[in-house]
Structure 1
Amino acid sequence: MPTGKGCLVAEQTLFQSFFLIFTGAAIVASLFLYGRQPLLVAYIALGVLLGPSCLAVVGDVKLLAEMSSIGIVFLLFLLGLEMQPKALASVLRKVTVVGLASCTLFLVLGFAIGRLFGFTDIESWVIGMALMFSSTIIGIKLLPTTVLHHKYLGELMVGLLLFQDFAAILCLVILLSGSAGAVDFARLILSFAALPLLLVLAWLFVKFPLRPLFARFDRFHEYVFLLALGWCMGLAELAEVLGLSREIGAFIAGISLATSSISQYIALNLKPLRDFFLVMFFFSLGAQFKLSMVPEIALPALATAAAVLTIKPLVFRYLLGNQSEQKVLAWDIGFRLGQISEFSLLIAFLAFKQQLIGSAASHLIQATAILTFLASSYIVVLNFPNPIAIRDELRRD
């Protein structure tokens, strides 16, 4: 076990990183609120400012990024807690056609953009994969809670995001099974065979050990919190071991507890912890971006971001227009989903790690994510009901 001065320095470095992130975020967020600007923009801007490409005052950005991914796990867990299994099946049935059509269109769009700017076929397909998905964080975080749980808009949003999550898992499994352009179909089949196994294990574990434990010790709030946290993280890690992803494992963990009487209490107590890690997620997104790559990828990134911000709302408006009595509802969903996803960043990372794409393609996806996150946040915050609106008439908790 490390002792002495070296261990103390490591501890101080981690503490200092947290100090810089959260104290800096508090200051910058205050300024942004006075300036009537979205808070997500503040976190990303702070990451760029304090990260290696600018002031370089934050140490291990990779460690912070890995820690911040816990926020996405909690987000999916909480989303699962709010979804009754029967309601989930109904919602997914409503959006399957729209999900398939939109993912296909954005995949082709990304491939066309990649080829236009001289990327290889494989790099262009990966760029297409990245464009298929919209941000769960932005989509859910900027959706009023009352709309999320009780309105048709909320059902469609959640359904489309969940469909995209499953499609993202497929893309991640393909990338993880690939090496230099080859896909291991045996590993791919095994990974998807693990999904029903995970569902059965979750159902059995909740029915026998978990529910009786919650019922017997529900007076001990600390224990309930720890048991829920352990269940979320445990099933997330099991999903990762089985070749799926932590996010899908966390979502299944939430779904398995959704019918429990304790689910709303768990959701309420986990939200502050989720928000803690989501601040780190947006900070690390800005901190990991290399400003030195900007001259090389500026034009393709701007073109890709413009295409996403323009075409995604149009596509969802057209595809959802026949399902909604009000055209404004389809526009609302289209603009809320008018960005790429945190999954897109993971796709860029894995594809680069598997040597399927080069640094330029990876940074193109990262730049497009940052640009569309920023622009889409502004569009939603300034024009649609949301919890952090800068105009009182649009603010909905």
Structure 2
Amino acid sequence: MEQHLIYSFFLIFAGAAVLASIALYTRQPLLVAYIALGAAFGPYGFAWVSDIKLLDEISHIGIIFLLFLLGLDMQPSHLLHMLRKATLVAVLSSIAFAAMGYAVGVGFGFTQTESLIIGLAMMFSSTIVGIKLLPTTVLHHKHTGELVVGLLLLQDVIAIIVLLGMYSGDTSAASSGGWQYLKTLLALPLMSGFAYLFVRFVLLKLIQKFDRFHEYIFLVAIGWCLGMAEGAQFLGLSAEMGAFAAGVVLATSPISQYIATSLKPLRDFFLILFFFSIGASFNLGLISKILLPSLVMAALVLTLKPVIFRGLLTRISEDAKMGWEIGFRLGQVSEFSLLIAYLATDLNMIGIEASHVIQATAILTFLLSSYIVAFNFQCPIAIPDHLRRD
């Protein structure tokens, strides 16, 4: 297993380095290189990397670190204000996107259940793509970044409710469905309260006492992030929400920016694995069967999400230009959509073709949305030099 994992890592990172070089020379977003590499090297391509489940589990750590670093840049008072303001936008937009996905599913002859699952998968925007394309030195301390983060967090809450509903639809889990909902309802305030008290009375005191040992701070930050992520999952929330909360309660500390700088390379390592696993998990043999509905769905997502977000944001007194930018930054479907597809397939709620329509739509919108943002807005991978901001 050790040799297999090392060999897999060699292929992934050596191949990613080659394709990333080509992407930069041809001025393409790096996400394209990582996903294309996964499709080529994965079990449905050359099959050089076959243990995708293991890599997918490892790559999930990248999402956790991404949310932790985001939390380190968010002041709690600003975050609470933005969440209150964005709630109506998140709920109404989710309903509109679900209706769009359901209508396309029915139009292409999928069953009612499959169309419903497809609709649910279209409700969410990608936390990874949305946040990775935010320049941390520019937008995290501005109104646009706060709105993007607020909407994504509210969508995460809706996604958790959807996933719990799917789990409770499974006969083996139905008996505990009520308890799961109650536990989730109480979990967020309990987790937030615990995080605040632990950081104030334990973690910061330890960091202040041993702040000259940089290795210790690095170790404590990773342990705190992953510990909160695991605790959130135990309480019925997502690991991402736990990691974000872990970052937010540290955001007011002077040490937060040092931790953020230290963990960025680790985050990027795991995110490369995440995008590779997306490409590798897709069955290329089904393209002919799911190409048309996937293209239609992707086109509607890329077209309607910016329009709907812009319309709703202007109704809560946001500037139209900002509404368009936020809409385009959130103009894709989510990694939660992939999770819904995988879970629904495992529970026999949908067939393999419906699952791959969701997966193909996610991949297409990840790629095309990245292009749109990279050519038109400030981001770390912007194609025009004057828009590139880290």
Same fold (TM over 0.5): yes
Question: Which structure 1 segments of 5+ residues have no match?
Answer: 1-9
Match of 1:32 in 2: 23
The separation in 1 between residues aligned to 2:120 and 2:364, in whole angstroms, is: 17
Indicate the SS of the match to 1:344: helix
The separation in 2 between residues aligned to 1:126 and 1:94, in whole angstroms, is: 28
Question: Would the aligned equivalents of 1:191 and 1:244 in 2 still touch at CA under 8 Å?
Answer: yes
Match of 1:104 in 2: 95
1:136–1:325 distance in 2 versus 1, CA, 3 Å: closer
- Choose the corresponding residue for 1:114, options 82, 105, 110: 105
Match of 1:161 in 2: 152
1:150 aligns with 2:145: no
Match of 2:239 in 1: 246
Using the TM superposition, give the Cα deviation of residue 131 of structure 1 relative to its aligned residue in structure 2, in angstroms: 0.8
Match of 2:293 in 1: 300
1:215 aligns with 2:220: no
Using the TM superposition, give the Cα deviation of residue 86 of structure 1 relative to its aligned residue in structure 2, in angstroms: 1.1
Match of 1:317 in 2: 310
The separation in 2 between residues aligned to 1:314 and 1:171, in whole angstroms, is: 24
Give me the identity figure in percent: 61
Of residues 325-334 and 217-226 in structure 1, the stretch that sits farther from structure 2 once superposed is 325-334
Match of 2:37 in 1: 46
Question: Would the aligned equivalents of 1:179 and 1:356 in 2 still touch at CA under 8 Å?
Answer: no
The separation in 1 between residues aligned to 2:246 and 2:134, in whole angstroms, is: 23
Amino acid at match of 2:158: A
The separation in 1 between residues aligned to 2:172 and 2:288, in whole angstroms, is: 28
Match of 1:281 in 2: 274
Match of 2:263 in 1: 270
Using the TM superposition, give the Cα deviation of residue 146 of structure 1 relative to its aligned residue in structure 2, in angstroms: 3.4
1:337 aligns with 2:330: yes
Question: Would the aligned equivalents of 1:324 and 1:330 in 2 still touch at CA under 8 Å?
Answer: no
Amino acid at match of 1:65: D
Question: Would the aligned equivalents of 1:192 and 1:244 in 2 still touch at CA under 8 Å?
Answer: no
Match of 1:7 in 2: none
Q: Deviations over 1:362-397 (max 9, x none)?
A: 111110000111111111111222221222122222
Amino acid at match of 2:310: R
Using the TM superposition, give the Cα deviation of residue 186 of structure 1 relative to its aligned residue in structure 2, in angstroms: 3.2
- Choose the corresponding residue for 2:86, options 79, 95, 104: 95
Question: Would the aligned equivalents of 1:122 and 1:181 in 2 still touch at CA under 8 Å?
Answer: no
Indicate the SS of the match to 2:140: helix
- Choose the corresponding residue for 1:203, options 177, 180, 196: 196
Using the TM superposition, give the Cα deviation of residue 215 of structure 1 relative to its aligned residue in structure 2, in angstroms: 1.1
CA RMSD across the alignment: 1.7
- Choose the corresponding residue for 2:126, options 135, 139, 144: 135
Normalising by structure 1, we get a TM-score of 0.94
Using the TM superposition, give the Cα deviation of residue 123 of structure 1 relative to its aligned residue in structure 2, in angstroms: 2.0
Using the TM superposition, give the Cα deviation of residue 322 of structure 1 relative to its aligned residue in structure 2, in angstroms: 3.6
The separation in 2 between residues aligned to 1:223 and 1:284, in whole angstroms, is: 32
1:182–1:235 distance in 2 versus 1, CA, 3 Å: closer
Alignment of 1:223-238 (within 5 A): 223-238=216-231
1:257 aligns with 2:250: yes
Of residues 268-277 and 387-396 in structure 1, the stretch that sits farther from structure 2 once superposed is 387-396
Question: Would the aligned equivalents of 1:51 and 1:286 in 2 still touch at CA under 8 Å?
Answer: yes
Normalising by structure 2, we get a TM-score of 0.95
Using the TM superposition, give the Cα deviation of residue 60 of structure 1 relative to its aligned residue in structure 2, in angstroms: 0.7
Indicate the SS of the match to 1:146: coil
Using the TM superposition, give the Cα deviation of residue 323 of structure 1 relative to its aligned residue in structure 2, in angstroms: 4.3
Amino acid at match of 2:377: F
